Amino acid sequence: MKFSNQYQTKFEIIKEIAGEFIFFLDNEGYFTEANSYGASSLDYDPTELTGRHFTELVSAKEQRKTAKSFQQILKKKKTISFETIFISKFGNEVRYEIKCKPLVKDEEITGVIGAGRNISELRLYEDKLNDFDTRLKEAQRIISIERQRSKRQKSFLDELNNMKSDFVSNISHELRTPLASIIGFSETITSDLNMPDEMKTEFLNIILHEGKRLAKLVNDLLNISRFEEDNIHVVKSEFNIIQVLKDVINLNRNAINKKNITLTNEIFDENIILNADKGKIILVLDGIIKNALKQTKNEGRIFITAQSLYKEFEITVSDTGAGIPESELNSIFKKFHRVKFLDQTPEDTGLNLVFIKQIVDLHKGFIAIQSEVNKGTTIIIKLPRDLTSSIN
């Protein structure tokens, strides 16, 4: 490209002091001129670029895209911008943003003038910024998850503390009530030396009754302590669970008859050998039957079924008692939780279901409760066993 001497000199000065890659190509894409800045950024001397084709310097992965850009120049005869990656003399990648304008004479393209801006560091910073942004979003997501988890944990701890407070309040009341009766009736007997024997016997029976109630409460609390400290161990042995279930029902027969409760069952005469802690399983069976008795009013009904499944033994106890509100069902087995709706007898501490679940859990079993207010409750227990079964 020819200028007057004055303009040629000025152009040469601008070309050399420019902080960009300034170059000229002929109509076939070969370098005719290149400034020192651009050539040195690619580790070349300007004279080394003269006569080399533009695409020789372009990275193989950018060849097709760069060729399309030059086709656009030839087709539209307008300034085109594109990015490309040059390979330096020593094999380094250098990313450039290029602007090319065709030189047109008599409707024919005689060459191309181009200017390029080295954006390698800019893209590097952008990549780092994008990576930082990705990491920031991930960190924010994790922080959000941890905040939600922290809120849930705080909510759980608050609930647990409330339950413990209620539990302590209930236990304090349970302890005071029998103690007050024992102390009150004892003082009455002691202070009245002329009390009739009949009244004294009645008061002594009340003291005995309240003493047993207090003893049961203390034993329940001790059991909670043992479970909390993992001091309860399972001592397994083989026994016929069908016979054990029948024995437990018979142990409660007087209480069943006393309330005139109709008890029906579907328990088949077969030997189902369970490998478990017999004493603790008896506590479980006795606990759920007594629970059904407590909640079932006079002349109510209790239905017990037992069946052998493939790898489990299932026991179901249904009653027509007061039932449990739906809002209480999810908390029924939680430590320190006490169902306030149940028709509890004075002896009932509300702790049995916690023990029952803990014993079932120790045996790797399953327990569930289905209930409806004023219609009754069904407790389902499944215990794993060794599959040793024979019909009599």
CATH of the domain at 172: 1.10.287.130
User: Which residues touch 80 (CB under 8 Å, ≥6 apart)?
Assistant: 69, 70, 72, 73, 99, 100
Residue 5: pLDDT over 80: no
User: Is residue 262 predicted with pLDDT exceeding 60?
Assistant: yes
Residues 315 and 253 in one domain: yes
Residue 153 belongs to some domain of the structure: yes
Q: Report pLDDT for 392.
A: 39
Assigned domain for 123 exists: no
Q: Are residues 218 and 191 in the same domain?
A: yes
Residue ending a domain, among 85, 118, 151, is 118
Task: Say if residue 82's pLDDT is above 90.
Answer: yes
User: Do 306 and 338 lie in a common domain?
Assistant: yes
96-108: average pLDDT: 89
Q: Give the domain CATH number at 305.
A: 3.30.565.10
Domain annotation covers residue 158: yes
d(CA 151, CA 154): 5
For residue 220, being part of any structural domain is answered with yes
Q: Which pLDDT value is given to residue 178?
A: 81
Q: What are phi and psi of 373, to 5 degrees?
A: -55, 135
| % of the chain with per-residue pLDDT over 90 | 29
11-20 mean pLDDT? 71
Q: What's the rounded Cα separation, in Å, for the pair 32 and 66?
A: 19
Q: Is the pLDDT of residue 361 over 90?
A: no
Same domain, 360 and 288: yes
Q: Bigger pLDDT: 366 or 347?
A: 366
pLDDT-derived band at 341, boundaries 50, 70, 90: very low
Nearest residue to 242 via CA among 276, 268, 278: 268
Indicate if the alpha-carbon torsion angle 163, 168, 174, 177 is positive or negative: negative
pLDDT exceeds cutoff 70 at 83: yes
Provide the pLDDT for residue 391.
36
Of the pLDDT bands very low, low, confident and very high (cuts 50, 70, 90), residue 317 is: very high
CA distance 287 to 293: 10
pLDDT at position 53 over 80: yes
Res. 340: pLDDT tops 60:
no
Residue 75: CATH number of its domain: 3.30.450.20
Helices (H), the chain: 5-17, 36-41, 46-49, 63-76, 120-191, 197-228, 241-251, 253-258, 278-295, 326-329, 352-362
Q: Please indicate, yes or no, if residue 19 is contained in any of the structural domains.
A: yes
With respect to residue 125, please indicate whether it lies within any of the assigned structural domains.
Answer: no
The pLDDT value given to residue 240: 92
Comparison of pLDDT for 248 and 235, the residue scoring more: 248
Domain boundary residue among 88, 118, 148? 118
* Structural domain contains residue 126: no
CA 117 – CA 114 distance, rounded (Å): 10
| pLDDT over 80 at 2, yes or no | no
Domain count, the chain: 3
Does any domain span residue 124? no
pLDDT above 90 (res 43): yes
Q: In this predicted model, which residue has the larger pLDDT, 210 or 316?
A: 316
CA 247, 251, 256, 257 torsion: positive or negative? positive
Note the pLDDT tens digit of each residue in 64-75. 999 888 888 888
> Same domain for 382 and 264?
yes
pLDDT for 348 = 46
Same domain as 360, residue 253 = yes
Give the model's pLDDT for residue 386.
62
| Last residue of one domain, picked from the residues 118, 148, 183 | 118
Whether residues 220 and 253 fall in one domain: no
Q: Which residue has the tokens 């026994």?
A: 239
Q: What is the mean pLDDT of residues 355-376?
A: 87
Q: What was the pLDDT predicted at 295? A: 86
pLDDT digits (tens, 9 = 90+) for 194-231: 888 888 888 888 888 888 878 877 776 676 666 655 55
Task: Give the chain's mean pLDDT.
Answer: 82
Q: Do residues 31 and 144 share a domain?
A: no
Q: Given a cut of 60, is residue 10 above it in pLDDT?
A: no
Q: What is the pLDDT of residue 229?
A: 53
Domain that holds residue 358: 237-391
Whether residue 58 sits in one domain with residue 172: no
At residue 322, the pLDDT reads 82
Is there a single domain that holds both residue 105 and residue 136?
no
User: Which of the pair, 201 or 6, is modelled with greater confidence?
Assistant: 201
Residues 205 and 248 in one domain: no
What does the pLDDT read at residue 301? 93
Residue 347 CA to residue 83 CA, distance in Å, equals: 86
264-281: per-residue pLDDT in tens?
888 887 788 888 999 889
Neighbours of 44 (CB within 10 A): 19
Provide φ and ψ at 155, rounded to 5°: -60, -40
> CA angle, corner 102, sides to 119 and 5, nearest 5?
95
Q: 103 and 19, same structural domain?
A: yes
